[in-house]
Amino acid sequence: GAGVSQSPSNKVTEKGKDVELRCDPISGHTALYWYRQSLGQGLEFLIYFQGNSAPDKSGLPSDRFSAERTGGSVSTLTIQRTQQEDSAVYLCASSLGLSVGTEAFFGQGTRLTVV
């Protein structure tokens, strides 16, 4: 595809259920980022993948959150035992990652609502 694709665009889930959010980065982009944006808030860093290096997981808020990136392409963010405070827009971005300063392209995000 031409841009970063995220699915689903909207997800409503019951408290306590697990959810999986998917990100398809731009083809050839080695860097992939996940951010969380709560209503009216900034972009909270969650996790960063760069090529085959170990991911930077320093932003994951709890052990209920995990992410993986298969084959250096598609990434899945998993939230286990969802809580109401997990409700937010989850944004994925990718970049060429060849050097610092390459543009990060964002997807439209997945709006997660935990009821």
Partner 1 sequence: QQQVKQSPQSLIVQKGGISIINCAYENTAFDYFPWYQQFPGKGPALLIAIRPDVSEKKEGRFTISFNKSAKQFSLHIMDSQPGDSATYFCAASTPRGYGGSQGNLIFGKGTKLSVKP
Name the residues that contact partner 1, by CB under 8 A: 4, 31, 33, 35, 40-43, 45, 48, 50, 53, 56, 58, 91, 93, 97, 99-101, 103-109
Integer CA distances (angstroms), 81 to 14, 30, 89, 109, in order: 9, 30, 17, 21
Please state the closest distance from residue 85 (CB atom) to partner 1, in A.
18
Q: Is 85 helix (H, G, I), strand (E, B) or coil?
A: helix
Q: In the complex with partner 1, which residue's Cβ is closer, 48 or 65? A: 48
Nearest to 97 by CA among 39, 52, 41, 46: 52
Least distance in Å: CB of 112 to partner 1?
15
Q: Which is nearer to partner 1, 31 or 79 (CB)?
A: 31
Chain Cα centroid distance, residue 55: 13
